[in-house]
Amino acid sequence: MLQLVIGNKNYSSWSLRPWLVLQALDIPFTEINLSFNDPDFKLKARQYSPTAKVPVLLDHDFAVWDTLAIVEYLAEHFPDAGVWPADPQARATARSLAAEMHSSFGALRSAMPMNVEASLPGIGMSEGVQRDIDRLVSAWADCRARFGDGGPFLCGAFSAVDAFFAPVILRLTTHAVALPAEAQAYVDAMLALPALQEWCREARLEHDYVECDEPYRSAAEAAAARTAS
């Protein structure tokens, strides 16, 4: 049985991506949960990955780290699961978008970190963030127009490309960002996905977030604030 090593569900945007692929596509796996609040996080993570980061996929004693590599490993080992779209052009576009999400959108990511528990409407917006959001909206619209027939997701049926955008969808939701109707419909379809709902329910159960005026507090800062109060 595969094992996925992940961080706090409230905060770990990277962990969410392969977890969602596994969960939504019914690929059997178990979780190993590490907490960023744990002072030994690095030590524990290094037992599984040379980067000492999460996520890590364990296939018995074989480790695959970094979300893109994990998702490709799943696509190779579960060819009928629908990890990527079947159509070659849809698949190449899905991979382009996943790679773009993996490497870009820096302004949005730093101003609106993933924080499922929080509600931060209006916080974090800037010109750079708006530019990232405009690119997201146009990328989604283009992909849906070309490959979206047959379902509400970017290439119709749910696939890995949607998992790559899941964290940004949660960021936009936490920050209550207004979107054009078509983009909002895609966000709504993602939020209705049972696997993503399960992640969010479990993230809220972690009770990691401390309300504050700042857009984001790291789990470690939140833990320190809890101890102090």
- What is the binding site for ligand GSH (CB under 6 A)? 7, 12-15, 42, 53-55, 66-67
What are the angstrom distances between the C-alpha of 164 and each of 46, 47, 98, 110, 220? Answer: 24, 26, 6, 17, 25
C-beta nearest to ligand GSH: residue: 53
How many angstroms from the chain centroid is the CA of residue 169? 8
CB 17 → ligand GSH: shortest distance, Å? 7
Beta carbons of 37 and 30 less than 8 angstroms apart:
no
Q: Which is nearer to ligand GSH, 22 or 183 (CB)?
A: 22
CB 51 → ligand GSH: shortest distance, Å? 7
Q: Which is nearer to ligand GSH, 114 or 154 (CB)?
A: 114
CB 53 → ligand GSH: shortest distance, Å? 3
Tokens of 48: 């599984």
Q: Which is nearer to ligand GSH, 59 or 66 (CB)?
A: 66
Element (H, E) at 57: strand 56-59
Element (H, E) at 163: helix 160-174
Q: Which is nearer to ligand GSH, 107 or 141 (CB)?
A: 107
CB 141 → ligand GSH: shortest distance, Å? 26
CB 69 → ligand GSH: shortest distance, Å? 8
Q: What's the rounded Cα separation, in Å, for the pair 17 and 175?
A: 20
Strand arrangement, sheet containing 62-65: 29-33, 2-6, 56-59, 62-65
Tokens of 70: 């994990």
CB 160 → ligand GSH: shortest distance, Å? 13
Q: Which is nearer to ligand GSH, 66 or 142 (CB)?
A: 66
Q: Which is nearer to ligand GSH, 17 or 144 (CB)?
A: 17
Tokens of 134: 């405009």
How many angstroms from the chain centroid is the CA of residue 120? 18
